[in-house]
Each structure stands twice: as C-alpha cells, then as structure tokens.
Amino acid sequence: MYVPVSSSKAQFKIQEMAFVLVALMMLFALVAVIYINVRTSSFHTDVEEQREEEARLLVRKMATTPEFAWLSTTCAHCIDTDKLLILREHAKYKEFWDLDYLAIEWVSPNHQGECTRSTYPQCGTITIINRTIGTPVSTYVALCRHEANAQASMQCDLGKISASGRSLLSNG
C-alpha cells in the first residue's frame, strides 16, 4: 500500500509533539511533588514551633491557674502541691492544657521519686501529664503545702514546673 511521504512525516511530527508534551507534564508533576513535600514539612515545623511557644507562655502563667495556685491573693508564683497531688488523680485534666508533659519537681530539698499519697511530701516529682515527647520548658516556682507544725501553717520549698507542647506525633 502506498503511503505518501508527507503524511507519514506529519504523523511523526505529531507523535514527537505528544512525547514532548508528556515529558513536560511529568516535569511539572515532579516539581509540584517536590514543592508539596517541602511545604508540608515546613508546615509541620511551624505547627510544632507554635505549640512550643504556647507551652513556653503557658508554663510562665501556670502558677496562677486555679488548679495550681496557692491562696491566689498571697503569692503569684506559689504552687499548692496538696492540690496537685489530688489533681494528678483527676483524669479530666489530662487533656485540659493541650500539653504532652506537665510536671513539678522539687529543687530543694532534693527528694527523689514520683509522689504518691503514701510518699508525699518526701518525694521529688508530681507528674500531671506524661506523654514524654519533646523537650520541656521550665520555670522556677515556690512549692507550698499546708503544714501544721510550720510557722503560719504552711511550708514552701524551691521547685520547678516543666511543660512541653503537644507534638504532632502524639495522639489527639
């Protein structure tokens, strides 16, 4: 069968154009995938950074929240450890502050171990939230408790409150 040379030449050109266009679309798709990957990873970083900033601001003000504050009108940075010991048993507070980690620990006197009703106050740490993801931020506070034998029926020690923001890796 006779096929004119001009016709097969035209068909070849059309095929050439089609291949070029397919290659062009694949290039655009590759660029789009790389861009989306980079943007998504920077978005994850932005979210984590915002949550850490929130944790930093929150930890500074934590001592003034009603759940933590010691007789709120007397001392801005005093924490009531008697209340905290009860608070750690209230499951509703685990998701209240949108944090992965929240704990107070005694700096002086330097007791060790997690506090329970039997070991308190001869213990080192009261942990409210413990998902232990991320690096906690801390601030120093006074840890106070009712003590009948002490002057003014209260005893205050030096402590630290630590918190870390909710990570994208944690559940919820």
Residues that bind other proteins (CB under 8 A): 10, 13-14, 17-18, 21, 24-25, 32, 43, 46, 50, 53-54, 57-58, 61, 63-67, 69, 71-77, 80, 82-83, 85-87, 89-90, 92-93, 95-98, 117, 145-149, 153
**Closest separation in Å from C-beta 19 to other proteins:** 12
**Closest separation in Å from C-beta 169 to other proteins:** 18
Q: How many angstroms separate the CA atoms of 169 and 172, rounded?
A: 9
Cβ proximity to other proteins: between 74 and 122 the closer is: 74
How many other CB atoms are there within 10 angstroms of residue 164's CB atom? 25
Q: In the 8-state DSSP scheme, what is residue 10?
A: H
Q: How far is CA 151 from CA 145, 146, 156, in A?
A: 12, 10, 11
**Closest separation in Å from C-beta 56 to other proteins:** 9
Amino acid letter, residue 6: S
Query: With the C-alpha atoms ordered 28, 30, 31, 36, is the resulting torsion angle positive or negative?
Result: positive
**Closest separation in Å from C-beta 76 to other proteins:** 4
